[in-house]
């Protein structure tokens, strides 16, 4: 049975170790499974000062007291 | 007849150069690396398949066992692709070589067992004695469990070798018989040809199943030890 001819065993085993443990793993290492993109909610941590909580019409640039 | 039948299992060398190295490395060419967010069909299909297999296989493992995910997915893809490529006519199947299968089975099994001994020594040793054995049977049962532990890598290797070799041999024999029967009795040749087709379908299934069984058993040994 040619499988029992041990003269070729070293080459076969070395080639297999190279392929299985290095080459193929390099290929599958690059597979990435990103989650579906979803918008990120953000909360601003700075609270507006009391006179800025509501935007009122007086803040529009043309209505400010002219300098 | 003897020499001719087994000639497809001789490790291929061309003018003294071991081209078996190239043959073993060839399946890696069939798995391109994904370079984009959305890839082409081949890469997407392979990624989908890998995800399917990974989810199925790694579900039963602890986080420690899941560190083996890359190894197991590489193993099943390597063995599956090698076996399927071996079904092409006149090709050489590396998994028919006992050397390669031993080289795969022993390190993986030893890795799983040694991991178990390092991190869960008592639980690993407890595997040698099933629960609820009557006291007089303990020595014999420890011996039997030790033997069954050490036979695991041998069984892994020999199972894969024998299954693939036997399938290839059968296809050679029945194909040869069908060819020889054409000139003698075409009806029998047709029946033999139908048997050959059925056998080929079986061999496709065996190719995939053997890859799966190998990986599943390694995964099981891992589960026992993590």
pLDDT at B29: 93
pLDDT greater than 80 at residue B112: yes
Task: Give chain B's mean pLDDT.
Answer: 87
Cα–Cα distance, B122 to B139 (Å, whole number): 18
CB A33 within 8 Å of CB B47: yes
Could you tell me the pLDDT band of residue B106, with boundaries at 50, 70 and 90? very high
Most confident segment among A41-45, B57-61, B107-111: B107-111
Count of beta carbons in the 10 Å neighbourhood of residue B161: 22
Could you tell me the pLDDT band of residue B49, with boundaries at 50, 70 and 90? very high
The closest of B38, B42, B40, B54 to A34, measured between CA atoms, is B38
pLDDT greater than 80 at residue B113: yes
B9–A2 CB contact, under 8 Å: yes
Contacts of A4 in chain B (CB under 8 A): 98
Task: Pick B24's closest partner by Cβ from A15, A27, A32.
Answer: A15
- Residue B56 CB burial class (10 angstroms; 0-12, 13-18, ≥19): exposed
Task: Pick B28's closest partner by Cβ from A5, A27, A33.
Answer: A27
pLDDT at B220: 77
pLDDT greater than 60 at residue B1: no
List of residues 6+ apart from B9 with CB closer than 8 A? A1, A2, A3, B96, B97, B165, B168
Cα–Cα distance, A25 to B69 (Å, whole number): 11
Angstrom CA distances, B187 to A14, B182, B190, stand at 48, 8, 5
Q: How far is A35 from chain B (nearest CA, A)?
A: 12
A28–B74 CB contact, under 8 Å: yes
Element holding B177 (H helix, E strand): helix B138-182
Global pTM?
Answer: 0.83
Give me the residue spans of the domains in chain B: 1-225
B175/A contact by beta carbon, under 8 A:
no
pLDDT tens track for B29-39? 999 999 988 89
Contacts of A15 in chain B (CB under 8 A): 18, 20-21, 24-25
Higher pLDDT, B217 or B98: B98
A16–B51 CB contact, under 8 Å: no
pLDDT tens track for A15-66? 888 888 899 999 999 998 888 888 877 776 666 676 666 666 666 677 677 7
Contacts of A37 in chain B (CB under 8 A): none
Please count the CA atoms within 13 angstroms of the CA of B94 that sit on its side-chain side. Answer: 32
Nearest residue of A to residue B161, measured between CA atoms: A3
Task: Pick B74's closest partner by Cβ from A4, A5, A20.
Answer: A20
A3–B37 CB contact, under 8 Å: no
- Residue B57 CB burial class (10 angstroms; 0-12, 13-18, ≥19): buried
Give me the residue spans of the domains in chain A: 7-32
Please report, rounded to a whole number, the percentage of residues in chain B having pLDDT higher than 70: 98
Token pair for B7 = 């000639």
What mean pLDDT comes out for the span B27-51?
93
pLDDT at B224: 73
**Among positive and negative, which fits the CA dihedral B12, B17, B18, B21?**
negative
């Amino acid at each position: 049975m040619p499988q029992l001819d041990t003269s070729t065993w070293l080459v076969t085993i070395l080639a297999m170790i190279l392929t299985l443990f290095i080459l193929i793993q390099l290929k599958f290492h690059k597979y990435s499974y990103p989650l579906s993109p979803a918008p990120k909610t953000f909360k601003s941590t700075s609270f507006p000062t009391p006179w800025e909580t509501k935007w009122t019409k007086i803040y529009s640039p043309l209505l400010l007291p002219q300098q | 007849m003897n020499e001719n039948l087994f000639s497809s299992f001789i490790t291929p060398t061309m003018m003294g150069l071991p081209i078996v190295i190239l043959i073993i490395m060839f399946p890696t060419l069939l798995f391109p690396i994904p370079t984009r967010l959305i890839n082409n069909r081949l890469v997407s299909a392979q990624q989908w398949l890998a995800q399917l297999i990974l989810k199925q296989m790694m579900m039963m493992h602890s986080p420690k066992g899941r560190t083996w995910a890359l190894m197991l997915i590489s193993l099943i893809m390597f063995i599956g692709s090698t076996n399927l490529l071996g079904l092409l006519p006149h090709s050489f199947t590396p998994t028919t070589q006992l050397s390669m299968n031993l080289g795969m089975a022993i390190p993986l099994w030893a890795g799983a067992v040694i991991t178990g001994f390092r991190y869960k020594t008592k639980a690993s040793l407890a595997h040698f004695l099933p629960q609820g054995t009557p006291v007089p049977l303990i020595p014999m049962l420890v011996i039997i469990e030790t033997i069954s532990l050490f036979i695991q890598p041998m069984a892994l290797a020999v199972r894969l070798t024998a299954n693939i070799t036997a399938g290839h041999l059968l296809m050679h024999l029945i194909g040869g018989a069908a060819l020889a029967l054409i000139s003698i009795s075409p009806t029998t040749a047709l029946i033999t040809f139908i048997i050959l087709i059925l056998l080929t379908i079986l061999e496709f299934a065996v190719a995939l199943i053997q890859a799966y069984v190998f990986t599943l058993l390694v995964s099981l040994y891992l589960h026992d030890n993590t």
